[in-house]
Amino acid sequence: MKIEINTLTPKLFLEMYTSVGWEPPYVEQIKKALANTIASFTAFDGAQAVGMARLIGDKGMSFYIKDFAVIPPYQSRGVGTLLINALEKYVKDSISSDWAVSLELISTKEAIPFYKKKGFEERPCEWDGPGMFKMIR
């Protein structure tokens, strides 16, 4: 298994995005999102793409994991861990060694235990409110 950075194409994105049951965005949206992504990460088993994630944010104080997906036959096989490790290394390599930055995401309910094992904290917590989002159409 290997992770490639910034090789995610709209076609691969759409295949993996829909493999986990998410409603597909328009291809033009995907193209624009990828063009404005700090870095994309694609997990490969040989030539087959099996997982992906995008990193977005301000590159200074906040980074956000978006569209983290592993195709169903490869879930619970270490692909997610490889992607998280690659994301975290990328962030650490992108910032000054004395900086602390936030790495954030909104998880599906089923993935909460995975992210907690990787050191993410659930919200709300003692010092912070819940993660929130709003879809605009």
For 35-92, what is each residue's pLDDT tens digit?
999 999 999 999 999 999 999 999 999 999 999 999 999 999 999 999 999 999 999 9
| Collapsed DSSP state (helix, strand, coil) of residue 13 | helix
Q: 131 pLDDT band (50/70/90 cuts)?
A: confident
For the entire predicted model, the pTM comes to 0.92
Instruction: Name the nearest CA neighbour of 75 among 47, 103, 113, 40.
Output: 113
Residue position matching structure tokens 């049951």:
21
Interval 3-10 mean pLDDT: 98
Q: Is 53 exposed, middle or buried (0-12, 13-18, 19+ CB in 10 A)?
A: buried
